[in-house]
Amino acid sequence: MTFLDMLRHAERQNRSLLCVGLDPDPAKFPDRFKGDASRIYDFCAAIVEATADTAIAFKPQIAYFAAHRAEDQLERLMAHMRAVAPQVPVILDAKRGDIGSTAEQYAIEAFERYGADAVTLSPFMGFDSVQPYLKHHGKGAFLLCRTSNPGGDDLQNQRLASVEGQPLLYEHVARLAQGPWNLNGQLGLVVGATYPAEIERVREIAPTLPLLIPGVGAQGGDAVATVRAGLRVENGQTTGPIIVNSSRAILYASGGDDFADAARREALRTRDLLEAAKG
Amino acid sequence: MTFLDMLRHAERQNRSLLCVGLDPDPAKFPDRFKGDASRIYDFCAAIVEATADTAIAFKPQIAYFAAHRAEDQLERLMAHMRAVAPQVPVILDAKRGDIGSTAEQYAIEAFERYGADAVTLSPFMGFDSVQPYLKHHGKGAFLLCRTSNPGGDDLQNQRLASVEGQPLLYEHVARLAQGPWNLNGQLGLVVGATYPAEIERVREIAPTLPLLIPGVGAQGGDAVATVRAGLRVENGQTTGPIIVNSSRAILYASGGDDFADAARREALRTRDLLEAAKG
C-alpha cells in the first residue's frame, strides 16, 4: 500500500482526521518515570496502543529522540506502530532539506532505516533537494508551506515580485507542490492551523494535495475552522485530504499514571470535534 | 573558547581557510572495507588525523551517519576531533529548522550530545526557529542563504516585493542575519561557491559574518574567485571570515589504501590554493 492508500484506509476505518504527534519529552513524563529518557519507547508505545483506533496517522518528531540518544527507541517504536496499527501511516517529522546527494542519505534514513510512510521536508533549497525522496515510490513527502509558529511570517509571508501574479512565498511553494514538483503524486504540504484563512488559500492553489496541519491543541488552532478551510469532499469521497496534528495536548493530557487513558480520551474528543466539523 | 575564537585561532595556526567536510559514504571506501558501514568512524578518524593541521574547521554531515545507524560512530568521531585537533572548530552540518520547542531539542542534539561548536540551520521557519540555538552562548549557527545546488534558484533567488529595496530572498536572509536576528554575534551564512558574484553580494550586505562556503572541489566552485569575493581582511586582521568547504574531493582523493595520504595531499593543495588567492 502507498502512503495515500494507507491514509484513505485509516481515515475511513478510524473515522478520523486526527494525527497523533509523538514529541516525547521525559521532563513531562508521569512522576514514576519523569526525566528517564530510557522510557521514551515505553511512554510512546503506551500512547500508540491507546490511540491506534482514533488516528488517521502518527507523527513522531525525530528531534525528541535525537536529543536523548534514543534512535534505537525510535526504531522499536516504528516497528511497534506497524504491529499495533498496520493500517495507520507514520509520518516522520524531520523537516530535512539538503543537496541531492545528502537528501538521498536522509531518504534512506526515513524510509529504509525507520520504515516511515512519509516525511516532512523544507523546500528552501529547491526541487533537487526534494526529488531524491520521490524516487522512493509510494512514499509521501510534506513540504513546509505556511507554518504555525510566529516566525512563520518572516519569510513565508513575503510577496514575490519575480513570479507571475506576485504570490506570497508560501503560495508559490503550494503552486510548485501541486504542479511541476509533484512528479508522481507523492507531495503534500504543511500548513499551520493557527491561520485558517491561509489554509483556505493553500487549498485553492492545491486542491488535491494532502495537508498536514499542526497547531491544533497546545498551539491553539481552531479545529472546526481548520476542517472547514482544508478538507475537500466530493460525492462522499475525500478529494483534498487533511491530517490534523495534535501532540502535547494528547501526550500530556493527565501527567499522571493514567496518561494513556487520558491521552485516549483527549484523542477521541479531538477526533470527534474534527468529525463534527465536517458538518 | 567560543566558536569564533576557535575559528580565528585555527585560521592563524593552520594558515588555512579550508574546511574538511566529512560525508562518509561506505560505497566509496577503499576496497578492503568498501561498503562496511561499521568502518565509518575508522575512515573519518584517519581523514581527521591526516588533515588536522590543514583545516580551519571540520564539517561532519549528519545524514551520512543517520542513514547507516551510525550515531554512535559520530559521537566517537566528535570526541576524536576534539582530542586530535582541540583548536579546530567542528560545524555539525544538519540544516535543522523547526518551531521553538523542537529547535531546543535539536540544539541539545548538536551542542550537548555531539559537542559541536556550530551548526547549520534553515531560515525558512523564521526567527523563533533560530533563536533557541542562540541560547547556547559561544556556539555558532550558520543559516542557509544562497546554496550551491541547481535548485538553490527556486526560492532563494526570488525577488521580494514586500521588503524595502525589493531584495532577493537570499539577500533578505543575509540582512536579517547581519542585523536583527544576530542577538549575540553567533550567526553566519551558508553561501555556495558556484556563484562568486553572489558571495560578493552577500559580503556587501553582511560585512562581518562568517561565511561557510561549500561547493569547492567536487561541486566545481572556483577557489580563487571564492576567496576574492568572500574574505575581508583589514590591517592583517580577518574582519569577514570565510570557511571554504571541500568534502568528496578530499575524502575520495585516491580510493585506495593510501586514502588518508591522498586526502592530506588534496587538503594541502586546496589550502595552498586558497591561501595564494589572498593575493
Residue that the C-alpha cell 500548513 belongs to:
A191
Give the pLDDT of residue A220.
62
Higher pLDDT pick, A195 / B136 = B136
Portion 63-122 of A in contact with B at CB < 8 A: 63-64, 66-67, 69, 71, 75, 95-103, 105-106, 108-109, 112-113, 122
Are the beta carbons of A26 and A35 closer than 8 angstroms?
yes
Asked if A126 and B150 come within 8 Å (Cβ–Cβ), the reply is: yes
Angle value at C-alpha B261, between B255 and B262, nearest 5 degrees: 45
Q: Choose the closest CB to B113 out of A61, A69, A109.
A: A69
Distance from CA of B272 to the nearest CA of A (A): 27
Asked if B106 and A151 come within 8 Å (Cβ–Cβ), the reply is: no
DSSP, residue by residue, chain B: --HHHHHHHHHHHTT--EEEEE---GGGS-GGGTT-GGGHHHHHHHHHHHHGGG-SEEEEBHHHHHTTT-HHHHHHHHHHHHHH-TTS-BEEEEEE---HHHHHHHHIIIIIIS--SEEEE--TT-GGGTHHHHTSTT-EEEEEEE-SSTTHHHHHTPBBTTSTT--BHHHHHHHHHHTTT-TTS-EEEEE-TT-HHHHHHHHHH-SSS-EEE--BSTT-B-HHHHHHHH-EEETTEEEE-EEEEE-HHHHTSS-STTHHHHHHHHHHHHHHHHHHHT-
Read off the CATH number of the domain in which B52 is found.
Answer: 3.20.20.70
Asked if B150 and A128 come within 8 Å (Cβ–Cβ), the reply is: yes
d(CA B138, CA B178): 17
Give the pLDDT of residue B258.
97
Are the beta carbons of B211 and B240 closer than 8 angstroms?
yes
Give the pLDDT of residue B218.
60
DSSP, residue by residue, B143-186: EEEE-SSTTHHHHHTPBBTTSTT--BHHHHHHHHHHTTT-TTS-
The 10s digit of each residue's pLDDT in A167-178 is: 999 999 999 999
Asked if B161 and A159 come within 8 Å (Cβ–Cβ), the reply is: yes
The 10s digit of each residue's pLDDT in A19-69 is: 999 999 999 999 999 999 999 999 999 999 999 999 999 999 999 999 999
- Label residue A174 exposed, middle or buried (CB < 10 Å: 0-12, 13-18, 19+): buried
- For residue A276, is pLDDT > 70? yes
Residue of B nearest to A112 (CA): B67
Residue of A nearest to B99 (CA): A149
Is the ipTM above a cut-off of 0.95?
yes
Active site residues of A: 95
Q: Choose the closest CB to B124 out of A71, A103, A124.
A: A124
Are the beta carbons of B50 and B263 closer than 8 angstroms?
yes
Sheet holding B187-191, edge to edge: B57-60, B18-22, B242-246, B211-213, B187-191, B140-146, B118-121, B91-96
Please list every residue in chain A whose beta carbon sits closer than 8 Å to the beta carbon of residue B99.
Answer: 147-149
Q: Is A165 on the interface with B (CB under 8 A)?
A: no
Q: How confident is the model at residue A105 (pLDDT cuts 50, 70, 90)?
A: very high
List residues bridging with A246 in a β-sheet.
Answer: A20
Q: What average pLDDT score do residues B171-177 get?
A: 98
The 10s digit of each residue's pLDDT in A111-139 is: 999 999 999 999 999 999 999 999 999 99
Q: Choose the closest CB to B102 out of A61, A109, A128.
A: A61
The 10s digit of each residue's pLDDT in B204-255 is: 999 999 999 997 876 666 888 999 999 999 999 999 999 999 999 999 999 8
Beta carbons within 8 Å of B165's beta carbon, 6+ residues apart: none
The 10s digit of each residue's pLDDT in B17-62 is: 999 999 999 999 999 999 999 999 999 999 999 999 999 999 999 9
**Regarding beta strands A237-240 and A232-234, do their DSSP bridges make them parallel or antiparallel, or are they unpaired?**
antiparallel
- Count the domains in chain A: 1
Question: Which phi and psi (to 5°) does residue B278 adopt?
Answer: -60, -30
- For residue A154, is pLDDT > 90? yes
Give the pLDDT of residue A100.
95
Q: How confident is the model at residue A93 (pLDDT cuts 50, 70, 90)?
A: very high
Site from A124, A148, A173, A190 to mutate, B interface, most B CB atoms within 10 angstroms: A124
Q: What average pLDDT score do residues B65-92 get?
A: 98
Beta carbons within 8 Å of B252's beta carbon, 6+ residues apart: B28, B259
Q: What average pLDDT score do residues B142-155 get?
A: 95
- For residue A218, is pLDDT > 70? no
| Per-residue buried b or exposed e for B91-101, using 16+ beta carbons within 10 Å of the residue's own CB | bbbbbbbbbbb
- For residue B279, is pLDDT > 90? no
Asked if A126 and B99 come within 8 Å (Cβ–Cβ), the reply is: no
Q: How confident is the model at residue B200 (pLDDT cuts 50, 70, 90)?
A: very high
The 10s digit of each residue's pLDDT in B115-125 is: 999 999 999 99
Q: CB atoms < 10 A from the CB of A75, how many?
A: 16
Please list every residue in chain B whose beta carbon sits closer than 8 Å to the beta carbon of residue A176.
Answer: 154
Active-site position among B95, B135, B139, B278: B95
Residue of A nearest to B131 (CA): A151
Distance from CA of B131 to the nearest CA of A (A): 10
Question: What domain range includes position A153?
Answer: 3-277
Asked if B124 and A144 come within 8 Å (Cβ–Cβ), the reply is: yes
Please list every residue in chain B whose beta carbon sits closer than 8 Å to the beta carbon of residue A66.
Answer: 71, 105-106, 109, 113
- For residue A217, is pLDDT > 80? no
